[in-house]
Structure 1
């Protein structure tokens, strides 16, 4: 740190307000369906942030908030107007579809430059993973340093950020056709061309392994296999039986409504075979899988072979394999016209179980024999101890063959590059070369990434999707999994799990990468064009320096703005998972990337993760290891961070964590507090917290441990001396400052669901403004207790709005918090009404309560009439307006709610929106899920309601 107090720098947009709902919606849309042509689809990396969101976050971190420029925006109205304009830019930047919007990017770069006092900053991401943050930094015209300890992550980031960009604008050296007019079209065409050559050679070498199949349904009598469904086998645990039985979960093969198929067993003496028939399984064909876990009935005697027996078989003589069925093209001449299922024949089963007779080259043999780390999970309990054990015999041969062919193609590409006129030289791609040798190595690198994609769908950990017939990737859960059955993809089918499909993902992702204009020679000589063909200056594209190693070691002499997504405590163990890819990348590219891919197994000693398996099962020691390394990393980050700007850290977590005592949603215990304590201990002050709800919720529902939410923590290094404070002083400071911060958040239309998380930011800003907060007994007030106090004061702040409401609404709010829509004694209702200067008769006249038999009940939104003119009776309460808005929103969506909003005066409408925040808190605390969701939804769409309400059509 340079010792400058954080308050001396202008506040940036991200420290004040964000159009959070628009950013989150754009992120969810981007991640909803991964499509070809998105950089993230080049290679799997876990928990990638949506590129549009990272772009928006970077912009908001670098651009001054208008309140910091009173010279340009002297009034609050002028500041609000400029903030709305900048928020509009953020909303555009958050949309992935606008990644190539030159006008938008140029304006964003102009704003960043105008806020960059002292020159454009460099972005540093010390935990770069798949490179999302750095990808968008260079798209915004900023240079970056991207670092990761994991060699797979470092290679993927290099391929995303710097390898292809060295050859931007260069024509293809092969006979491949250019794929459009983008600056990376040449290298993309070459990857596609040489990838097709790899497939041709591998098909020749594996000619006997994937033969066409006889098919009575195909016009030609032969067809192409798409995938082979295999089942593991064990001898029955019943000593009186001991016959071999399959571990098959269901007899269903395809559940597609228009193309249903099932398998059935054919028993003969002590052996079994499988038959395949169209339609659903008959009712008397009982599934073999029993309950959860690895428990299967014996096909012969019906006894259950439990998980312990299956594990003992795996650790003993090993598990067998039987081919259940083959998915194939109905007509190979028309591959898109349907699929069929075929019963296995002896030849197909023999081909799948046949290994390579000649053995494997040393690098591949080393890859297959590599022991899985102890932290790989319970898969080792089934006898799967090596990488090779994760593969069937044909899968081992397939991946080995592709690896050999790809490694051997580099000289051919080199010759073609020289023949095309590319200069020769000595530097390779890892040494930032840019000539024929480096180009050939770059092509080989992208082909190896396609091999790594193939490896992800060529293991015994893949799963068969019975709804659509696809071969799902190995890491559908972030763990090494054991399954009783698995599909084996035919790499030459052109369909699911094939080489050509994975190659096309790599090529299309390559085309979508940000890259500079002009050809390589012009850029190297500094004579590149300053305008595009249309005469406009294209947005600048930054350069990236990708490094593999511990950020503690390789961040040396660097200074820049840190924006990063650090490790997630004990949720993921990337080093262990990535070994499946590392062994193949190292076998194929070890000579091209010797420094990056040097480790035989991904390094774990310096990895910041809490994994009890690395601490002899001691979870406390594992947590201590994580917190110690995280503190050191954050201290290093604070040292290198450019204090002119805030520091942005993504913190990922699942919703199913600890809740605060008074019902505040989403507060996570140990991991969250460890992160905050580490930030504070590293000398960082927390300024803001923004909930980013961009992860796909179905992943959590399936138990895949995907992250439901990320909190974006905005911090500033603090070099100033800070006083201590008592708990009472801390509470008074919160009461003085938090209400204004909450009002600003509400003015940016933050959803009630997110307000709790966002309020942590200003609360922690106050907490970290002190050296420490002292409790009554002199002990330090910890982060967890401080968060509880922030939560309490947030409630007070929201409740403070009640004083500005009409007396009938305050009565309704008090009654709702006590009883909801249940009835209560008339005496209690009258007691509350007297205190609040109203009466039960007045409440009945306002149309919000009903009375009967000495009981009083608040009317729900669905019991209130929505009159054509809501103020026709002359006295509309804020409560009544709010409930009617909720009813219109639930019954008729945005159009109906907007129509009602258009008939409310601005004061009532604004009060209704504030009341909805308060109602959300009450409903959420009382576990009124549906009502809380309605309140959240109404506020979330308020800008659209306002827009519709102001349109002439809404008044009709």
Structure 2
């Protein structure tokens, strides 16, 4: 093979991306719920569809105008290449828009571009000895995601015209991927088979459009409704309505017009109880209520009011202005536990844990929420209603233990060790009833499908396309609705007083403990009800698979990424686990137990184990491996094997793209963008024989959750672009490595911070520390080893530190260098004059000179830097005889904050040759603030850079005639 190198043009993703457009689309997508495939079934840390689409497209499309090794030229001259790249960027910018997710015209343009690039590659390699095997111009290689998870990557590969392969060790992930990419094409374009459809006349049927997966969605709706009716017959007595009596109206005059009516309950609100620690009330089960507020909505406030009566208490519901004490319930404050309602004696968490482990933790009904004509109506609990709830007797419950001594699993600390313990008896009865009905409805669907021109053939797992397969497919989607019910139908569901509805358990990647919870009514019409799940599912399903075609191809398998053979000859894009961030296997046990109960006969091999496989899961789990060191080694060894498998098996023509996410907390002052997880993961990639040809920071969080909140300020994921390192790659010394970094990184940084005109926007400061890793690690990873002075290979951690150190270099004027170093030590706070004087002398400037300039305040033996808001609004750079870059930068920020891009553009136009230095200083200060955890300051510098293009446009649009001094620069 070495005598016949493959001719592989550089791909677009190895050169440039319209990062701003992708990031905007990703952030927007995070706020979309209706119609998003993520609403089909919960999965943790999904990648946005927009990111997956853009990455796959850019990974497979040739970049114009580049020469690659092997003695061939591809593309055009630099000017033509820029025009062509701009055209490709336009395709990506349209492709990532949420509105175009299923836009067939946009998708087909992207598919055509991928096919064109592939044919060009085939032509270049037509004389290769393996051309027949590797380069068939009429058939694109498939794309494989070996860590398929929530299915975003294989779904988007399929939409872009590629045959998609998805594999995962986790059976819940496998089922999600089957539901996303394997099943919809099998039945695309078919009408529904339910009796409602069959009863329609030919004339009526002719009016319907059953393109995409609309027929499947309609059948989910119909058979879901049938299940609801059947469940109502069997267990409806456990969920009675609230009947408004005259007695209730005496206490609540607002209920008088409703006397005699029966209202559907939305939820029952409970508080956990433990025995009082006060001996005088040790027989009383006192409540653990974090809040008594039921509704915060203005004009419709409602709250629970406890009433003490001798040696017992009861709850009553009141409406009107909220008393201040309602907000805290019986809580004694954060980390302090609770207080006894009867005696006000403190109840710390040790007491509560002891009670829970002894089996003495109970629950008491606090309030009932019903649906009125004009909104929610809250009622005081009654003994009858509480008794009905306790008459439920489940015949089955999950038998799966949660991790103990794990920070993300709090219930075991209070004696709730098993997943079955986090459901009330009534919730278990409801869930098992609907689970049983999934089996019953599957047979009903099979009969209806067989009578509606479906053949009666093999099931899904044997490749069937007839009645049996169709009934199994629908039962999988109905089981997903059951999982939604479980997520909102357990005793760890919060009541949200603003939205006035239950909130699901999995608000984050954990199973936390809560003290007062909402028990939703599965037969209601609000959050937690079966009807809402079915309606939401069918809407999302219809939207997600609107463009699915029968010719879409997909294969989904359960496989361990370390040993799987699926990747052979395929393009690879994947989103592996992030070190120790998320324990997917432990979390997905919650859903697995219900899926297994409902679908084991459909997927007997996939659902054979009692719980989700965990021993081989590639995460660094300290509790599983016994120590941090053993967990890290397990992750490194396993991920290296998985990455080596990809490197060896992937189609050699295109790079491999790998997502990695890490948090703000993983950046340290000493090392920059370095963390145990990041270093270990990157080490696995490089040890596997891959080299980096690019890193791209993708912002996958809402803009409001970025640096403005002081958390998760870094882009939430990085895309690593990798190719296999040549087997004969040489080694170099540390000195040679640093010399090469010094030659590569200045140009790379300049390109990143300047952008490339219309081709590429500048990388925002928030992303710069990650983006610079790409060209830096490209140098490091192309060598077999970088050797230290003692001959040992340089570690990945050291290489990252050297790369990050490059961002700390500066070459500014003396005043600016003083301000930089002072700011790093003291920020905006004041310190002693003597210290400032010594620093100023070392920078060849003086405190008095900088005071005169206007960048600092000095007096009474103290010195401090002035904030941008303290800078004068009448500053004119054309008359300023001593203008440090520091001063110019903060005036630009002041103008942007107070007058927008037009005001800062006017200043920029007058800065002349200092404009570039100002922009570089903004990057430098952002990096510094981000490292120091100064989110508010970092935001100001980030906003300036992200507005830079607009500011430049405003500067260039100014009229040439001179404007009278004193007016041009006023905000």
TM-score grouping bracket, smaller chain normalisation: 0.7 to 0.9
CA shift in 2, pair 1:199/1:925, >3 Å: closer
Question: In the alignment, is residue 631 of structure 1 matched against residue 640 of structure 2?
Answer: yes
The structure 1 residue matched to 2:293, chosen from 252, 255, 259, is 252
The structure 1 residue matched to 2:277, chosen from 237, 240, 244, is 237
CA shift in 2, pair 1:938/1:152, >3 Å: same
RMSD: 3.5
Alpha-carbon separation, structure 1, partners of 2:817 and 2:537? 59
CA deviation profile, 1:632-676 (whole Å, cap 9, x unmatched) = 1111121222222121111122211241416x3xx2421111101
Question: In the alignment, is residue 369 of structure 1 matched against residue 399 of structure 2?
Answer: yes
Alpha-carbon separation, structure 1, partners of 2:898 and 2:709? 31
What aligned pairs does 1:150-165 form with structure 2 within 5 A after superposition?
Answer: 150-165=170-185
Partner of 1:15: 14
CA deviation profile, 1:378-410 (whole Å, cap 9, x unmatched) = 422322233321110100000011111121011
Partner of 1:43: 41
Question: In the alignment, is residue 676 of structure 1 matched against residue 682 of structure 2?
Answer: yes
Shift of 1:457: 0.5
Partner of 1:754: 767
Alpha-carbon separation, structure 1, partners of 2:87 and 2:959? 26
CA shift in 2, pair 1:271/1:707, >3 Å: farther
CA deviation profile, 1:722-761 (whole Å, cap 9, x unmatched) = 2222221111110011112222222130011211111111
Partner of 2:699: 693
Partner of 2:104: 102
- Structure 2 unaligned blocks of 5 or more: 123-136, 198-206, 250-254, 962-967
What aligned pairs does 1:718-733 form with structure 2 within 5 A after superposition?
Answer: 718-733=725-740
CA deviation profile, 1:183-219 (whole Å, cap 9, x unmatched) = 2111111111111111111111112111110234263
Aligned residue for 2:544, secondary structure, equals coil
Shift of 1:498: 1.0
CA shift in 2, pair 1:269/1:948, >3 Å: same
Alpha-carbon separation, structure 2, partners of 1:741 and 1:23? 21
Asked if the contact 2:818–2:840 (Cα under 8 Å) also holds between the matched residues in 1, the reply is no
CA shift in 2, pair 1:485/1:578, >3 Å: same
Partner of 2:629: 620
CA deviation profile, 1:28-78 (whole Å, cap 9, x unmatched) = 1110x2421111111100001111111111112122223426967544343
Aligned residue for 1:494, secondary structure, equals coil
Of 774-783 and 595-604, deviating more is 774-783
Partner of 2:942: 936
CA shift in 2, pair 1:270/1:543, >3 Å: same
What aligned pairs does 1:343-492 form with structure 2 within 5 A after superposition?
Answer: 343-356=380-393, 360=395, 365=396, 368-372=398-402, 374=404, 377-422=409-454, 424-492=455-523
CA shift in 2, pair 1:708/1:873, >3 Å: closer
Partner of 1:282: 323
CA shift in 2, pair 1:669/1:39, >3 Å: same
Asked if the contact 1:833–1:839 (Cα under 8 Å) also holds between the matched residues in 2, the reply is no
Aligned residue for 2:794, secondary structure, equals coil
Of 884-893 and 820-829, deviating more is 820-829
CA deviation profile, 1:429-466 (whole Å, cap 9, x unmatched) = 23332112211221111111111111110111111112
Shift of 1:179: 8.6
CA shift in 2, pair 1:433/1:942, >3 Å: farther
Asked if the contact 1:176–1:192 (Cα under 8 Å) also holds between the matched residues in 2, the reply is no
Partner of 1:115: 117
Partner of 2:200: none
Shift of 1:679: 1.0
CA deviation profile, 1:456-496 (whole Å, cap 9, x unmatched) = 10111111112211211112232222222210000111111
Asked if the contact 1:886–1:897 (Cα under 8 Å) also holds between the matched residues in 2, the reply is yes
Question: In the alignment, is residue 777 of structure 1 matched against residue 796 of structure 2?
Answer: no
Partner of 2:224: 195
Alpha-carbon separation, structure 1, partners of 2:543 and 2:851? 63
- Structure 1 unaligned blocks of 5 or more: 332-336, 524-541, 803-809
CA shift in 2, pair 1:936/1:448, >3 Å: same
The structure 2 residue matched to 1:581, chosen from 588, 591, 606, is 591
Partner of 2:203: none
Partner of 1:306: 348
Shift of 1:228: 0.7
Alpha-carbon separation, structure 1, partners of 2:3 and 2:918? 43
CA shift in 2, pair 1:284/1:82, >3 Å: closer
Alpha-carbon separation, structure 2, partners of 1:791 and 1:831? 28
Alpha-carbon separation, structure 1, partners of 2:434 and 2:706? 32
Partner of 1:126: 146
Alpha-carbon separation, structure 2, partners of 1:414 and 1:19? 49
CA deviation profile, 1:102-136 (whole Å, cap 9, x unmatched) = 33322222222222223423211111111011111
Asked if the contact 1:899–1:954 (Cα under 8 Å) also holds between the matched residues in 2, the reply is no
Aligned residue for 2:581, secondary structure, equals coil
What aligned pairs does 1:423-572 form with structure 2 within 5 A after superposition?
Answer: 424-514=455-545, 542-556=552-566, 558-572=568-582
Asked if the contact 2:715–2:767 (Cα under 8 Å) also holds between the matched residues in 1, the reply is no
Alpha-carbon separation, structure 1, partners of 2:270 and 2:713? 28
Alpha-carbon separation, structure 1, partners of 2:620 and 2:875? 60
Alpha-carbon separation, structure 2, partners of 1:927 and 1:369? 44
Alpha-carbon separation, structure 2, partners of 1:402 and 1:922? 56
Alpha-carbon separation, structure 1, partners of 2:959 and 2:466? 63
CA shift in 2, pair 1:179/1:568, >3 Å: farther
CA shift in 2, pair 1:898/1:226, >3 Å: farther
Of 55-64 and 871-880, deviating more is 871-880
Of 816-825 and 882-891, deviating more is 816-825
Question: In the alignment, is residue 814 of structure 1 matched against residue 812 of structure 2?
Answer: no
Question: In the alignment, is residue 184 of structure 1 matched against residue 213 of structure 2?
Answer: yes
Aligned residue for 1:323, secondary structure, equals strand
Shift of 1:91: 2.8
Asked if the contact 1:569–1:671 (Cα under 8 Å) also holds between the matched residues in 2, the reply is yes
Shift of 1:899: 5.3
Superposition TM-score, scaled by structure 1 size: 0.87
Alpha-carbon separation, structure 1, partners of 2:358 and 2:852? 81
Alpha-carbon separation, structure 1, partners of 2:276 and 2:190? 63
Shift of 1:502: 1.3
CA shift in 2, pair 1:283/1:738, >3 Å: closer
Asked if the contact 2:901–2:951 (Cα under 8 Å) also holds between the matched residues in 1, the reply is yes
Alpha-carbon separation, structure 2, partners of 1:644 and 1:464? 53
Asked if the contact 2:708–2:939 (Cα under 8 Å) also holds between the matched residues in 1, the reply is no
Q: Looking at both structures, which has the greater relative contact order when contacts are Cα pairs under 8 Å and sequence separation is at least 6?
A: 1
Question: In the alignment, is residue 222 of structure 1 matched against residue 262 of structure 2?
Answer: yes
Partner of 1:528: none
Alpha-carbon separation, structure 1, partners of 2:659 and 2:483? 27
Asked if the contact 1:236–1:298 (Cα under 8 Å) also holds between the matched residues in 2, the reply is yes
Partner of 2:721: 714
Alpha-carbon separation, structure 2, partners of 1:495 and 1:609? 37
Superposition TM-score, scaled by structure 2 size: 0.85
Shift of 1:297: 1.3
CA deviation profile, 1:551-592 (whole Å, cap 9, x unmatched) = 334424732121111112222111111111111111111111
Asked if the contact 2:667–2:931 (Cα under 8 Å) also holds between the matched residues in 1, the reply is no
Partner of 2:239: 210
Asked if the contact 1:833–1:840 (Cα under 8 Å) also holds between the matched residues in 2, the reply is no
Asked if the contact 1:254–1:467 (Cα under 8 Å) also holds between the matched residues in 2, the reply is yes
What aligned pairs does 1:633-648 form with structure 2 within 5 A after superposition?
Answer: 633-648=642-657
CA deviation profile, 1:232-290 (whole Å, cap 9, x unmatched) = 11111233430211111122122222321111112233332211101345356673112
Question: Number of residues paired by the alignment?
Answer: 902
CA shift in 2, pair 1:76/1:386, >3 Å: same
